[in-house]
Amino acid sequence: MAHIVHIIDRLNIGGAQSLLVTLAQALRGRPHSMAVVSLHHDDTMAGAIRACGVPVTVLPGKLRDVGRIAEVCRLLQETNADLIHTHLGFAHVTGTLCGRLMGLPVVASLHSMQEHPAERFRDLVHYRLQRWVLRTLCDRIIAVGPHVAVARAGYVGRARMEVIENAVIPPPPLSAGRRAAVRHSLLGSERDDGPLFIAVGRLSAEKGFADLIDAFAIFGRSDPRAALAIVGGGELMGALRAQVAGHGLDGRVFLPGARTDVPELLAASDVFVMPSHWEGMPVAVLEAMAAGLPVVATRVGDLPNLVSDRTGLLVEPQDPAALAGALSSIAGTPDRWAPLGRAGKRLVDERYSPDVWASRLCRLYDEVLDGRWPGTGRRHWSAIRSIL
């Protein structure tokens, strides 16, 4: 039995965080156990992880905080960790350094096609530090999709990388009454006479929600019954609300913020939209397909592996006019929604099930652990504790 400690930047609502919930459920009954460490005080998803019987520790601080590194090392020692699995940027650096100090193997997951642009000096320093630890100190790197692996090959250099595609837990179905109630809670009115489009994600520039609002303004002229909900929180909330008002779309485009009931919101919607400028293997799309929704998405990252003419429509990124055309096309053919949704759900059930995904992860953990030097972590920690 191996104990895996997952270290992540933060436990806000997001794809990488949802995967930890999925893994916590999928590991039940398996010989591997897990714990989670978050490096930021936002612990929105912590409750869902703890509900699966997985301990969560929140250790906020700065990247250069030596005291926090000592705290993480102490936690690894106290919990008898066998392996560290890191997710997202700061966690790659902190988790890998702690792993090397403790003599523990480290696996890192790359969840996106690229890093956020380094706009400040400290961002550039962090970018280069992260690249260095991934290239030289990680035992194994996981790309969450084949396009992610290709895109990040230069970033990780000669480090050993393999593809393990994301997974998702299918949501339970909604009764007709519950579906109507969820739509009402989301939109503030029944609006059962037109299609409800839904998008889910962090409100940041690369998610393309400004393009979606522009596209909906174009499309909405031909279908005034349609509504759009963009679910998520982030730094662009104010700007996107101003954009909605500027287009005169108040009462048709809704920005309800981050929600913890996304599976129900998906089940109560008609069409999912992902207008991203770049992506990896997006969990949000997998969740939408598992809920039986047709998908309109941009042709980026691994989305073409998920979305085809059998499951939805693809358009080029950063092209609101093309996106508006896709919205109009799918809104005008409601008889296609169910067949597209069924095909997408079948694809997710066959290729992206939690059991298959967890089995592949556990095999990788075992393979990495086979090369571990027993007792190294305890010897390293003894030396570190004497210094601290």
pLDDT at 68: 86
Token code pair at residue 146:
């084949």
141 and 96 in a common domain: yes
pLDDT at 191: 60
Cβ contacts of 72 within 8 Å, gap of 6 or more? 7, 37, 59, 94, 95, 98
212 and 125 in a common domain: no
186 and 309 in a common domain: yes
pLDDT at 13: 86
236 and 380 in a common domain: no
**Could you read off the pLDDT tens digit of each residue along the chain, which spans 388 residues?**
899 999 999 999 888 999 999 999 999 989 999 999 999 988 889 999 999 999 999 998 876 678 889 999 999 999 999 999 999 988 999 999 999 999 999 999 999 877 655 444 456 777 888 999 999 999 999 999 999 999 899 889 889 999 999 999 888 889 999 999 999 888 876 566 789 999 999 999 999 999 999 999 999 888 889 999 999 999 999 999 999 999 999 999 999 999 989 999 999 999 999 999 999 899 999 999 999 999 999 999 999 999 999 999 999 999 999 999 999 999 999 999 999 999 999 999 999 999 999 999 999 999 999 975 444 444 444 444 444 4
21 and 151 in a common domain: yes
Residue 295 near residue 285, CB atoms below 8 Å: yes
Work out how many domains the chain is built from and give that number: 2
pLDDT at 62: 76
Backbone torsions φ then ψ of 271, nearest 5 degrees: -140, 135
Q: What is the secondary structure of 201-234 as a DSSP string?
A: S--SGGG-HHHHHHHHHHHHTT-TT-EEEEE--S
Which domain range does residue 366 map to?
3-167+353-387
Letter string b/e over residues 262-298, b meaning 16 or more CB atoms within 10 A of that residue's CB? bbbbbbbbbbbbbbbbbbbbbbbbbbbbbbbbbbbbb
366 and 306 in a common domain: no
Residue 158 has a CB neighbour count (10 Å cut-off) of 8
Give the C-alpha separation, 23 to 357, whole Å: 9
SS3 per-residue string spanning 65-129? CHHHHHHHHHHHHHCCCCEEEEECHHHHHHHHHHHHHHCCCEEEEECCCCCCCCCCHHHHHHHHH
Helix residue ranges, H only, 317-375: 320-331, 337-351, 354-369
Q: What is the secondary structure of 243-285 as a DSSP string?
A: HHHHTT-TTTEEEEE--S-HHHHHHT-SEEEE--SS-SS-HHH
Q: Among 203, 190, 186, which Cα is nearest to 261's?
A: 186
State the DSSP code for 159: S
Give the C-alpha separation, 207 to 199, whole Å: 10
pLDDT at 337: 97
10 and 145 in a common domain: yes
Return the sign of the alpha-carbon dihedral for residues 45, 49, 51, 57. Answer: negative
For Cα atoms 192, 194, 198, give the angle at the middle one, nearest 5 degrees: 95
198 and 138 in a common domain: no
Give the C-alpha separation, 170 to 82, whole Å: 30
Q: Among 136, 137, 92, which Cα is nearest to 111's?
A: 92
Place of tokens 């949000």: 284
Task: Tell me the pTM.
Answer: 0.84
255 and 319 in a common domain: yes
Q: Which amino acid is at 265?
A: L
Q: Among 339, 368, 20, which Cα is nearest to 167's?
A: 20
pLDDT at 89: 85
Q: How many CA atoms are closer than 13 Å to the CA of 214, on its beta-carbon side?
A: 12
Backbone torsions φ then ψ of 386, nearest 5 degrees: -70, -30
Give the C-alpha separation, 170 to 157, whole Å: 36
Q: How many residues does the chain have?
A: 388
Q: Which amino acid is at 233?
A: G
Give the C-alpha separation, 340 to 360, whole Å: 29
370 and 230 in a common domain: no
pLDDT at 87: 96
362 and 254 in a common domain: no
Give the C-alpha separation, 21 to 34, whole Å: 11
Token code pair at residue 101:
């100090």
Give the C-alpha separation, 204 to 208, whole Å: 8
CATH number, position 44: 3.40.50.2000
186 and 203 in a common domain: yes
